[in-house]
């Protein structure tokens, strides 16, 4: 039964990626012809990224087991990358944040990688503690908040939210004291308030979320254009390649708001099909976590799948107007080399961890 879940898990990932490439082509063709004339089309780049992701997938599957020492090394390496991002001349400033490292024409986003390394290393450390009834280890919070602080300096609130919430859910599964969560909830509310006050653009995002039409040409522009794409689509949409909002109305429609274009062209039915694929992927992931050979593997797989769930819900919530704009990609589907490769690293790790026997750890 475990192998059936693994096959279905990978199959859903392949289908979602294929759909992503098709709609990157649909969403980006006009945008790239206007803003990136003469350059390689986005959908060609996405195919190349997927080919690289497949190579990385095989390397991880065939590679050695993930010992705690290796996880620590990967965690430290990802922290070094986050520090490099903040150094002028190395980190690239784009769309209001310094979140990328440039190597020639290639750019990588370390925050995507650090989410994985943090969750895996935290899982390994949590698995060593038998009971948290009287023990709350400071090191667990250092593991979480050190990368979170570095990401906030970029700033990238969406990645911090996904990382911290997933990590806290992992602590909850590990049976951290409930009273701790009352403190964390209060601290989280205070921290969120401080972040909003410290950066006026975040307050504008909250205001545009509550009433995007109050500033439809400013802070609420993306939200309004997304809703204008979805609203008239109806049950079956306008048809493939027939989106109207991709013609310079919705900025960079191949990225965070690609689900808007999918809904506009494929309608409610098309959106449901994609949601069913995601739901199947998540179900198979959690089914594998439950069937893991060890507590460490259970924590690891559960954390990775929860991270995917949060990122998917956050992106779709933004697209349909249920959440403020955060700049989070839709897994497997949105355009982006780092995003796609890291998502497939996640898929590979789930399969790798599931097929690693306890003695190999």
Number of domains observed in the structure of the chain: 1
Confidence class of residue 199 from pLDDT cuts 50, 70 and 90? low
Rounded to whole angstroms, the Cα distance separating 339 from 258 reads: 14
pLDDT digits (tens, 9 = 90+) for 76-131: 999 999 998 888 877 777 766 777 787 666 778 889 999 999 999 999 999 887 76
Residue 106 main-chain phi, psi, to 5 deg: -90, 135
Secondary structure element (H or E) that encloses residue 22, with its range: helix 2-35
Alpha-carbon distance of 188 to 127, in angstroms, equals: 25
Distances (CA, A) of 167 to 130, 289, 304, 310: 18, 16, 10, 11
pLDDT band at 31 (very low <50, low <70, confident <90, very high): confident
For residues 25-39, average pLDDT: 82
Cis preceding linkage at 155, omega within 30 = yes
pLDDT of residue 99: 79
Q: Which pLDDT band, with edges at 50, 70 and 90, does 196 fall under?
A: low
Query: Looking at per-residue confidence, does 225 or 331 come out higher?
Result: 331
Residue 192's Cβ-side half-sphere holds a number of Cα atoms within 13 Å equal to: 12
Output the CA angle 78-80-85, nearest 5 degrees.
95
Average pLDDT along the chain: 86
Positive or negative torsion for Cα 333, 116, 285, 6: positive
Q: What is the pLDDT of residue 361?
A: 58
Question: Does the pLDDT value for residue 16 go beyond 70?
Answer: yes
Rounded CA-CA distance 225/128 in Å is: 49
Confidence of residue 213 (pLDDT cuts 50, 70, 90): confident
Rounded Cα–Cα distance for residues 260 and 60 (Å): 33
Task: Read off the pLDDT of residues 278-327 as tens digits, 9 standing for 90 and up.
Answer: 999 999 999 999 999 899 999 999 999 999 999 999 999 999 988 888 87
Distance CA 339, CA 336 (A): 5
Q: How confident is the model at residue 333 (pLDDT cuts 50, 70, 90)?
A: very high
> Alpha helix (H) ranges present in the chain?
2-35, 42-62, 68-85, 110-126, 138-152, 157-173, 178-198, 200-210, 221-230, 258-290, 295-319, 337-354
Q: Give percent of the chain with pLDDT exceeding 90.
A: 47
Is the pTM higher than 0.95? The answer reads no
Q: And the tokens for 258? A: 């690609």
DSSP, residue by residue, 177-202: -HHHHHHHHHHHHHHHHHHHHH-HHH
As a whole number, mean pLDDT of residues 330-338 equals: 92
Rounded to an integer, the average pLDDT of 204-223 is 72
pLDDT for residue 195: 65
Per-residue pLDDT band for 334 (boundaries 50, 70, 90) equals very high
CA dihedral in degrees (121, 333, 313, 86; nearest 10)? 50
Radius of gyration of the chain (CA): 20
Whether the per-residue pLDDT at 139 is higher than 90: the answer is no
Instruction: Please report which confidence band the pLDDT of residue 39 belongs to, taking 50, 70 and 90 as the band edges.
Output: confident
Question: From CA 339, how far away is CA 346, in angstroms rounded?
Answer: 11
Task: Return the H-helix or E-strand segment holding 92.
Answer: strand 91-94
- Rounded CA-CA distance 73/66 in Å is 11
Q: Express each pLDDT in 49-66 by its tens digit.
A: 999 999 999 999 998 888
Cβ-Cβ contacts under 8 Å for 167 (sequence gap 6 or more): 118, 119, 122, 143, 144, 303
Structure tokens at 155: 């700033």
- The residues with which 44 forms a beta bridge, in sequence order, are none
pLDDT at 43 (0 to 100) = 92
Look at residue 61 in the predicted model and tell me its pLDDT: 93
CA distance 219 to 119: 33
pLDDT at 272 over 90: yes
Mean pLDDT: which of 28-42, 191-205, 262-276 is highest? Answer: 262-276
The pLDDT of 191-208, averaged and rounded, is 66
pLDDT at 135 over 70: no
* Domain coverage including residue 127: 2-360
pLDDT at 66: 87
- Per the model's pLDDT, the better-predicted residue between 245 and 75 turns out to be 75
First-to-final CA distance of the chain: 23
Cβ neighbour number for residue 320 with a 10 Å cutoff: 16
Residue pair 231/206 in contact by the 8 Å Cβ criterion = no
Q: Does the structure show a pLDDT above 60 at 359?
A: no
**66-70 contact pairs (CB < 8 A, 24+):** 66/120, 66/300, 66/349, 66/352, 66/353, 66/356, 66/361, 67/361, 68/121, 68/124, 68/125, 68/361
């Amino acid at each position: 039964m475990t192998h059936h879940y693994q096959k279905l898990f990978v199959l859903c990932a392949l289908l979602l990626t294929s759909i992503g490439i098709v709609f990157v082509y649909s969403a980006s063709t006009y945008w790239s012809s206007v803003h990136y004339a003469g350059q390689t089309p986005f959908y060609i780049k996405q195919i190349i990224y997927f080919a690289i992701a497949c190579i990385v997938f095989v390397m991880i599957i065939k590679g050695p087991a993930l010992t705690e020492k290796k996880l620590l090394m990967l965690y430290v390496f990802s922290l070094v990358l986050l520090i490099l991002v903040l150094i002028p001349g190395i980190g690239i400033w784009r769309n209001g944040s310094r979140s990328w490292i440039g190597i020639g024409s290639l750019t990588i986003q370390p925050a995507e990688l650090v989410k994985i390394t943090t969750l895996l290393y935290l899982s390994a450390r949590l698995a060593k503690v038998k009971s948290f009834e009287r023990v709350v280890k400071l090191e667990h919070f250092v593991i979480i908040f050190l990368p979170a602080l570095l990401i906030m300096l970029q700033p990238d609130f969406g990645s911090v939210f996904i990382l911290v919430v997933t990590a806290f859910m992992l602590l909850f599964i590990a049976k951290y004291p409930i009273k701790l969560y009352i403190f964390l909830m209060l601290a989280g509310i205070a921290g969120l308030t401080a972040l909003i006050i410290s950066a006026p653009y975040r307050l504008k995002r909250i205001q545009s979320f509550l009433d995007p039409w109050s500033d439809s040409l400013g802070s609420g522009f993306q939200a309004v254009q997304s809703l204008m794409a979805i609203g008239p689509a109806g049950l079956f949409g306008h048809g493939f390649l027939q989106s109207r909002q991709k013609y310079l109305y919705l900025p960079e429609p191949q990225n965070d708001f690609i689900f808007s274009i999918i809904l506009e062209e494929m309608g409610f039915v098309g959106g449901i099909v994609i949601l069913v694929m995601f739901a199947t992927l998540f179900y198979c992931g959690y089914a594998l976590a439950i069937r893991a050979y060890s507590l460490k593997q259970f924590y690891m797989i559960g954390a990775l799948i929860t991270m995917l769930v949060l990122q998917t819900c956050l992106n779709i919530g933004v697209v349909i107007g249920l959440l403020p704009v955060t700049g989070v990609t839709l897994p497997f589907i949105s355009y982006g080399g780092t995003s796609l490769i890291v998502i497939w690293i996640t898929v590979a790790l789930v399969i790798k961890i599931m097929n690693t026997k306890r003695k190999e750890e």
